[in-house]
Amino acid sequence: MRALAAATALFLIATPALAASPEVEAAIKVLQGVGSDPAKLDKFCKVMKIVEGIQERIERLEARVTAQLDQALGEHFKAYREAAKKVEDAEDESPDSKALAAALDDLSDKCPN
């Protein structure tokens, strides 16, 4: 994930033509400000550890539910689910989404492992 974030950040730095909207640029500046303030960075890192734990639990639950639904409802439901996932993933390709994700990943990279 961090390698992808680094590649994304490098891509965004190397291609300024894909500039984010003013709202996202402002949000990125906020994230950069958090990264330069040790107290705020410490709080951010602590909260991110909690969020990561919650996300891991959610992913495990989703996998169990998905497996049960696929088994109970069959291949047609599985095909629907895969098509819906492609649509969700396509939305993450906007310049705003890429720029904001890269800035958040850069901030997260400052947290101690």
pTM: 0.61
Instruction: Name the residue among 96, 90, 92, 76 with its Cα closest to residue 21.
Output: 96
d(CA 21, CA 15): 15
pLDDT digits (tens, 9 = 90+) for 35-52: 999 999 999 999 999 999
All residues at 6 or more sequence positions from 108 whose CB lies less than 8 Å from its CB, including other chains: 2, 5, 48
pLDDT digits (tens, 9 = 90+) for 7-34: 444 444 444 445 679 999 999 999 999 9
d(CA 57, CA 21): 33
